[in-house]
């Protein structure tokens, strides 16, 4: 083998670089997020699987309808009217941002810009 003095260190750097996830986590699988669900409410505005996958799209639609087209109409679930609002509808049941929103968002490094305009509840 020629130039092993340069090639072997280069390969070691490459392997260390690729295996960053192994030595960064140091074998600890980390804590899994456990969002605290509201105790009194049983149903959300959409079925659980759907709201989990689509909540950001729904919030965006609400924002566009309410703020950009000025349509502040309500929608009904099981006979009860709800507003298209993050603070008045979502946060009414999911009262804690830290114990609900942030648990998953921090774990998956998602930074929604809701709180650029909305004031987060003081916790």
Partner 1 sequence: MKYAFPLAAVIALVLIALIAVQIPGMQYLFGVAIPYLAMALFLGGFCYRVIHWAKSPVPFKIPTTCGQGYSLPWIKHNKLEAPVNASQVVARLFLEIFLFRSLWRNTKATVYDGPKLTYESSKWLWLFGIMFHYSFLVVVVRHMRLFLDPVPWVVSFLETGDSLLQIGAPTMYTTDVTIILALLFLFGRRLMNPQVRYISLVNDYFPLFLILGIVTTGILMRFFLRTNVDINAIKQLAVGLATFSPTIVADISSLFYVHLFLVCTLLAYFPFSKLMHMGGVFLSPTRNLANDSRMKRYINPWNPDIRPHSYAGYEDEFREDMIEQGIPVEKELPPKAND
Q: Interface with partner 1 by CB under 8 A: which residues?
A: 1-4, 7, 10-11, 14-15, 18-22, 24-25, 27-30, 32-33, 49-50, 52-54, 56-57, 59-60, 104, 107-113
Judged by beta carbon, residue 18 or residue 119, the one nearer partner 1 is: 18
Nearest of 36, 53, 32 to residue 108 by alpha carbon? 32
Indicate the residue among 76 and 103 with the shorter CB distance to partner 1. Answer: 103
As measured in angstroms, the least distance from the Cβ of 49 to partner 1 is: 7
User: Whole-number minimum distance, CB 79 to partner 1, in Å?
Assistant: 28
Q: How far is the CB of 1 from partner 1 (least distance, A)?
A: 5
> Is-contact 94 38, C-beta < 8 A?
yes
SS (H, E, C) 27-80: CCCCCCCCCCCCCCCCCCCCCHHHHHHHHHHHHHHHHHHHHHCCCCCCEEECCE
């Amino acid at each position: 083998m020629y130039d092993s003095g340069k090639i072997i260190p280069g390969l070691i750097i490459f392997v260390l670089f690729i295996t960053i996830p192994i030595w960064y986590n140091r074998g600890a699988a980390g804590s899994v997020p456990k969002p605290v669900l509201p105790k009194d409410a049983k149903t959300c505005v959409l079925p659980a699987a759907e709201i989990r996958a689509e909540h950001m799209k729904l919030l965006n639609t609400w924002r566009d309808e309410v703020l950009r087209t000025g349509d502040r109409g309500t929608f009904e679930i099981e006979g009860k009217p709800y507003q298209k609002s993050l603070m008045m509808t979502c946060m009414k049941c999911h009262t804690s941002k830290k114990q609900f929103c942030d648990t998953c968002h921090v774990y998956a490094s998602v930074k929604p810009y809701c709180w650029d305009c909305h004031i987060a509840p003081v916790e």
